[in-house]
Amino acid sequence: MSEAALREPFIRLDRVRKAYRVEGREVLAVSDVSFDVEAGEFIALVGPSGCGKSTLLKILSGLVLNDGGEVRIGVPEQRLDAGRDVGMVFQQPLLLKWRSIIDNVLLPAEILGLPQREARERAFHLLELVGLKGFEHSRPYELSGGMQQRAAIARAFVHDPKLVLMDEPFGALDALTRERMNVELNRIWKESAKTILFVTHSISEAVFLGTKVIVLTARPARMAGRIAIELAEPRTLEAKTQEDFGAYSRRIYELLGMT
Amino acid sequence: MRFEREELVQEPDKQASIASDREIGASAASSAGPVSVLAAASAWIRRHSLAIFSHVALLALWWAASLKVPRFILPSPVETMATLGVPRYDWLRHTLVTGSEVFGGFLLATLIGVALAVAFNWSATVRRAALPPLVTLNMVPKVAMAPLFIVWLGYGIGPNIVISFTICFFPIVINTARGLKEVEPDLIDLVRVIRASRWQIFRKIELPSALPFVFSGMKVAAVLAVAGSIVGEFIGSERGLGYLMMSVQSTLDTPAMFMALILVSLIGVALYALVAFAERLVVPLDARVS
């Protein structure tokens, strides 16, 4: 028996396929996507916009069912309850205007009916972790776009999910804020020890954040390749100027057929 | 390009303006003493000084015009006010009748309108079946249905409430339904991932998101509600300000007609103010639709 069969990965996607019906015609969004994710990994999914990356995340979150292949999340020793072990972050912060920041962060805990006091303590701690200490009782509109997105990240972590899915979370931010958020997310990921799947169409963001980068082709999303990223930890913006960073980026450009 | 630090610098400013807003609300509500009430009142007058001035100017214009025109065409403001002292007009009773018709019709329309919009949101089948005939029915001029309602329901407050209701109902349904539909789909996905129930989604996300739209529908309806009741009273009633206007018309008692008109308008203003006040309590400032 091989070693791989003995120890199953935390998440396994095997030839996953998804088609949508649009005006009677079948449009393939995801085709033959296979990769494994180990617990605690940071997987960056990179590919052209509209290539079906978001569909892939929706399949993983259980919002959409794949109609081919197999998706298996969780292993016997680390079960994953689809109903409570997933956190999500979207491109827009999607904070509720009528709630304070702390109450926004607490929304998943409320829906899951988690014990209030512990959830609150956790939410305060998370807001400190994402750098929003002192803004707990502010309203969303009082915060800048970057700060709102930090709150959205804290909200995705509040129910202590094992898996966090992020769909271009920094896509709407300006370039400089985005760079800063990358550094922050790298730190948050390390401190929280979660498994993160992160969709982006920024190659440098994918290399900077990922322990593994999955490169997908244009619609339908097919596997173009996967690359393990080994950069010095903790990752700093300086790493972006190093030679190995450039080599990883170049490899991704090649896989995308852009060179 | 936006720099977060710079925005942070602006924060205290923003917070200060919010804080002062809250203080005004608090001092008005807590009735901390005559001094603070006076201060709040003078602040209010200062803030609305231009609007107060233009209202006074309007009154002056009316008064000036009335000097040149016969009394039975345009009575002066003073003559109009004087009718309040004439007991045979029975202002209080008529105002209360019209007021209860207006508020009754409006309240009924709000309750049924919001409930129906929620049902539309809940079930696409209900929406597809019930919305088109509603749109068709809305094409019928509600005022033109007034004689029918009187045949069906007889004289009195009842039919006038129904007429007011039919006029108010539609803007509330449409606005509420739109508000419920405008919720960001990703926001719903965010909680569906953790298996939020249909009720939780409604209670925690859809309803509060839709509230600003509900209130904007209610504001439109508040203006219409008065028209419904008055038309009902014109056609068949022996009470209410509309009835009073019809009964003094034959004697060319224009001052009383003017007074009735003012009172009818004040009922509308009161209803509108009540809705605006409720909105202030429930909907945060930045989420209001106006």
Q: Does B190 touch chain A (CB under 8 A)?
A: yes
- Residue A18's φ and ψ, nearest 5 degrees, are -145, 130
**Tens digits of per-residue pLDDT, A195-231?**
999 999 889 999 999 999 999 888 777 888 888 888 8
**In a mutagenesis test of the A interface, which of B189, B194, B215, B280 is the best target, namely the one with the most A β-carbons within 10 Å?**
B194
Structure tokens at A21: 């019906």
Q: What is the CATH number of domain B86-287?
A: 1.10.3720.10
Q: Which residue of B has its CA nearest to A111?
A: B196
Q: Cβ contacts of residue B267 below 8 Å, gap of 6+?
A: B95, B98, B99, B102, B226
Q: Which residue of B has its CA nearest to A158?
A: B194
Q: Which residue of A has its CA nearest to B208?
A: A98
Q: Do A139 and B192 touch (CB under 8 A)?
A: no
What are the boundaries of each domain within chain A? 1-75+162-174+181-259, 93-161
Q: Do B204 and A108 touch (CB under 8 A)?
A: no
**Tens digits of per-residue pLDDT, A61-99?**
888 888 888 888 877 766 777 678 889 999 899 999 889
**In a mutagenesis test of the A interface, which of B193, B197, B211, B285 is the best target, namely the one with the most A β-carbons within 10 Å?**
B193
The residues in A 94-133 lying below 8 A from B, measured between CB atoms, are 94, 96-98, 107-108, 110-112
Q: Do A176 and B1 touch (CB under 8 A)?
A: yes
Helices (H), chain A: 3-6, 53-61, 101-105, 107-112, 116-129, 145-157, 175-192, 203-209, 243-255
Question: Residue length, chain A?
Answer: 259
Cα–Cα distance, B229 to A224 (Å, whole number): 70
pLDDT tens across the length of chain B (290 residues): 344 443 343 444 444 444 444 444 444 444 456 778 888 889 888 888 999 999 999 999 999 999 998 888 999 999 999 999 888 889 999 999 999 999 999 999 999 999 999 999 988 899 899 888 988 988 998 888 888 888 888 888 888 999 999 999 999 999 999 999 889 888 999 999 888 999 999 999 999 999 999 999 999 999 899 998 998 899 888 899 999 999 998 888 999 999 999 999 999 999 999 999 999 888 876 655 54
Give the residue carrying structure tokens 């805990």. Answer: A109
Q: Which residues of B touch A138 (CB under 8 A)?
A: 15
- Residue A35's φ and ψ, nearest 5 degrees, are -165, 160
Q: Does A86 touch chain B (CB under 8 A)?
A: yes
Cα–Cα distance, A65 to A103 (Å, whole number): 31
- Residue A200's φ and ψ, nearest 5 degrees, are -155, 160
> Between A and B, how many residue pairs show a Cβ–Cβ distance under 8 A?
77
Domain A1-75+162-174+181-259 belongs in CATH node 3.90.580.10: no
**Element at B252 (helix H, strand E):** none
Q: Do A145 and B2 touch (CB under 8 A)?
A: yes
Write the CA distances from A149 to A98, A114, A153, A225, B158, integer angstroms: 17, 23, 6, 30, 54
Measure A87 CA to nearest chain B CA, in Å: 8
What are the boundaries of each domain within chain B? 4-68, 86-287
